[in-house]
């Protein structure tokens, strides 16, 4: 199965987001690099608004991710509640 | 008492529909074909433009809000950098060579990309596509501006930053990036999307920006980390647009497959050649290195590109034709590039240098099969010449590849001791190439590439007429300041003196 990833800037805003991604994707591997965090996962990665809100302690619009996004791979599917990255192979 | 009722917000999907599809209209004064004349001539068949979906469903109101926030963050840090002598926190002023190449070649490419997306957004009839291209056009001009602005702080102190616009138009090595974007912009709208949106953004951009930003962070360059991050936060959207575009073409009609495959083959190779310069940055120019070019390629090329092409196999897409040749070049290209830059450093508006013993040991650890065998002996020889006071300078003009415009410094894919050279004859004229990939691109569209502006023939035309001094003036290169070896340069002397002042009380 192919690996998908999302890379976010390492800062105060993304810390709870990264924690939420870890909670929702136990298979994900978090690589902490200078100024950046790259999260790899086999096949699929799900980012959930509700989990981020719990970690963050406030409302969160998934599109706020754009501010601190560095890169990602895979087919993107987004609605109000989740953003999913996946490969079809 | 009035109850406060929260206004019902539109969901993401409804909002996207209202602010993209619902803004479109059918033409009545003119037939649609006359309004969108370029959409058919490449042979791509589209039956239903409404099938185009932006998976992020970003609408203009949200776009402006988030972009404004990115700009605020960007300028807060740029101000802090300027106010706190940020330039003295660099590991070493050698690092600046990477930035100079970026400013001279890549920032103008961002501007070219802006023009390309503005045009392409106009030429596509689908509303979703128009909105996505419009956002990307605005992103790209923002990148060009923020990069130039961020790097202007270095122009106050260091050489080689002062004339990037002349350098972009006239100096030899920037024509590599310029011709790449001119090639894309003079293609049809679908080919442009495959060239920039897919091949450059999706397949290759991670190799440029991600190591570049990490490299900046490793080397204390706060200004570049900031513009890099600000630009890169748009790239995820650009990459996704590129991937959606290719899936859209392939899903609309099976006849599109061979056309798309041909563009993927062409633009992968074109992009691989352009981004090859990043390899020298990663392996040679960063005083504190992040990872080798080989390691970056394994992550972003092999693993990521591999996954992408496995995914696209369901449409019948194969990995690009040059993929295997690229893999064979990875362990050689940074060394071949840097040897080229060093020997022609009289003509570059940045510095190069002979790697130190310690640097060479790092290179041989990262390239155990190639560095000691093929490249260390050459650097040692060059070092011996420099120590004897007779540094190796190649005042001969480089032979350029007609397609990628790089000097033909690369070797045969299966023989690193033999320079790779190909030639084609077209209408009685001989044309030279650095590789099978570049020759193949030319042979498919010779009428396009015979018109290429090549910097070497320019040297013998007006206003230069073969005079090196006149050429330097024409490209705004100040001999003895902007060019040559880093060792003994004004940049080196100034950085060391200023850093000394900053860290002592002398």
Minimum distance, in Å, between the CA of residue B178 and any CA atom of chain A: 25
For B188, residues 6+ apart whose C-beta sits below 8 A from its C-beta are B38, B41, B42
Instruction: Read off the pLDDT of each residue in B308-327 and give the average, rounded to a whole number.
Output: 95
A→B contacts (Cβ < 8 Å), by residue, are: 2-5, 7, 9, 33-36, 63-64, 66-80, 87-89
Minimum distance, in Å, between the CA of residue A64 and any CA atom of chain B: 7
pLDDT at B337: 94
Domain B34-349+467-503 has CATH 1.10.10.1400: no
pLDDT at B207: 83
Percent of the residues in chain A that have a pLDDT greater than 70, as a whole number: 99
Q: Which range has the worst mean pLDDT, B51-60, B169-178, B396-405?
A: B51-60
pLDDT at B184: 97
pLDDT at B4: 67
Minimum distance, in Å, between the CA of residue A65 and any CA atom of chain B: 9
Percent of the residues in chain B that have a pLDDT greater than 70, as a whole number: 98
3-state secondary structure of A33: strand
Interface test with A, best of B68, B209, B229, B302 (most A CBs within 10 A): B229
pLDDT at B3: 65
Distance CA B46, CA B348 (A): 46
Q: Provide the pLDDT confidence category of residue B43 given band limits of 50, 70 and 90.
A: very high
pLDDT at B236: 87
The per-residue pLDDT for range B237-251, each reduced to its tens digit, is 998 899 999 999 999
Q: Provide the pLDDT confidence category of residue A6 given band limits of 50, 70 and 90.
A: very high
Cβ A2–B306 below 8 Å, yes or no?
yes
Minimum distance, in Å, between the CA of residue A23 and any CA atom of chain B: 23
Domain segments of chain A: what residues?
3-86
3-state secondary structure of A48: strand
Instruction: Read off the pLDDT of each residue in B257-281 and give the average, rounded to a whole number.
Output: 94
Using CA coordinates, name the residue in chain A closest to B240. Answer: A76
Cβ B310–A2 below 8 Å, yes or no?
yes
Q: Please count the other Cβ atoms lying within 10 Å of the Cβ belonging to residue B465.
A: 10
Percent of the residues in chain B that have a pLDDT greater than 90, as a whole number: 77
Distance CA B358, CA B360 (A): 5
Compare CB distances from A80 to B11, B73, B210 and report the shortest one's residue.
B11
Cβ B214–A35 below 8 Å, yes or no?
yes
The per-residue pLDDT for range B363-393, each reduced to its tens digit, is 999 999 999 999 999 999 999 999 999 999 9
Is the model's pLDDT at B317 over the cut of 60? yes
The per-residue pLDDT for range B73-122, each reduced to its tens digit, is 999 999 999 998 899 999 999 999 999 999 999 999 999 999 999 999 99
Domain segments of chain B: what residues?
34-349+467-503
Is the model's pLDDT at B1 over the cut of 60? no
Compare CB distances from A33 to B58, B209, B214 and report the shortest one's residue.
B214
3-state secondary structure of B417: strand
Q: Provide the pLDDT confidence category of residue B395 given band limits of 50, 70 and 90.
A: confident
Domain A3-86 has CATH 3.90.56.10: yes
Q: Please count the other Cβ atoms lying within 10 Å of the Cβ belonging to residue B63.
A: 21
pLDDT at A33: 84
Give Cα separations from B235 to B1, B93, B143, B464 (angstroms). 49, 28, 11, 40
pLDDT at B107: 93
Whether the full predicted model's pTM is greater than 0.80, yes or no, is: yes
């Amino acid at each position: 199965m192919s690996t998908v990833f999302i890379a976010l800037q390492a800062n105060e805003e993304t810390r709870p987001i990264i924690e939420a991604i870890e909670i929702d994707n136990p298979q994900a591997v978090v690589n902490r690099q200078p100024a950046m965090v790259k999260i790899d996962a086999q096949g699929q990665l799900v980012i959930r608004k509700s989990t981020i809100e719990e970690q963050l302690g406030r409302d969160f619009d998934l599109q706020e991710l754009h501010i601190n996004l560095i890169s990602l791979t895979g087919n993107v599917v987004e609605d109000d509640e989740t953003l999913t990255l996946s490969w079809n192979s | 008492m009035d109850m406060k009722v929260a206004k019902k917000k539109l969901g993401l999907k409804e909002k996207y529909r209202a602010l993209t599809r619902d803004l479109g209209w059918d033409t009545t004064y003119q037939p649609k074909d006359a309004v969108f004349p370029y959409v058919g001539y490449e042979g791509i068949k589209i039956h239903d433009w409404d099938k185009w979906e932006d998976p992020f469903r970003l609408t203009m109101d949200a776009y402006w809000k988030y972009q404004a926030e990115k700009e605020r963050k960007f300028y807060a840090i740029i101000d802090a950098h300027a106010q706190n002598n940020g330039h003295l926190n660099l590991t070493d002023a050698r690092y600046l060579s990477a930035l100079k190449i970026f400013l001279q070649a890549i920032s103008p490419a961002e501007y070219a990309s802006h023009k390309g997306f503005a045009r392409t957004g106009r030429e596509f009839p689908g509303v979703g596509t128009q909105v996505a291209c419009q956002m990307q056009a605005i992103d790209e001009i923002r990148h060009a501006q923020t990069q130039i602005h961020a790097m202007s702080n270095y122009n106050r102190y260091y050489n080689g930053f002062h004339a990037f616009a002349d350098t972009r138009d006239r100096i030899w090595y920037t024509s590599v990036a310029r011709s790449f974007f001119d090639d894309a912009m003079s293609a049809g709208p679908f080919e442009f999307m495959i060239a920039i949106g897919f091949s450059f953004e999706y397949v290759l951009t991670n190799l440029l920006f991600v190591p570049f930003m990490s490299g900046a962070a490793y080397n204390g360059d706060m200004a570049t980390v900031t513009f890099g991050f600000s630009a890169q936060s748009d790239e995820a959207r650009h990459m996704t647009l590129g991937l959606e575009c290719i899936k859209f073409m392939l899903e609309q009609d099976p006849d599109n497959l061979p056309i798309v495959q041909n563009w993927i083959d062409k633009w992968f190779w074109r992009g691989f050649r352009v981004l090859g310069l990043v390899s020298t940055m990663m392996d040679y120019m960063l005083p504190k290195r992040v990872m080798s070019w080989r390691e970056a390629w394994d992550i972003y090329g092999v693993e990521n590109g591999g996954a992408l092409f496995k995914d696209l196999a369901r449409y019948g897409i194969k990995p690009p034709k040059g993929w295997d040749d690229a893999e064979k070049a990875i362990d050689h290209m940074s060394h071949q590039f840097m040897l080229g830059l060093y020997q022609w450093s009289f003509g570059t508006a940045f510095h190069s240098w002979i790697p130190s013993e310690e640097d060479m040991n790092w290179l041989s650890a990262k390239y155990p099969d190639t560095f000691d065998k093929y490249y260390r002996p050459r650097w040692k020889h060059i070092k011996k010449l420099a120590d004897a006071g007779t540094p190796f300078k190649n005042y001969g003009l480089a032979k350029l590849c007609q397609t990628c415009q790089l000097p033909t410094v690369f070797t045969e894919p299966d023989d690193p001791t033999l320079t790779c050279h190909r030639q084609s004859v077209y209408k009685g004229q001989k044309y030279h190439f650095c590789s099978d990939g570049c020759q193949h691109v030319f042979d498919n569209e010779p009428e396009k590439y015979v018109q290429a502006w090549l910097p070497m023939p320019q040297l013998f035309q007006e206003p230069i007429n073969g005079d090196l001094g006149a050429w330097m003036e024409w490209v705004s290169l100040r001999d003895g300041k902007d060019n040559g070896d880093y060792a003994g340069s004004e940049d080196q002397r100034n950085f060391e003196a200023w850093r000394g002042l900053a860290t002592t009380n002398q």
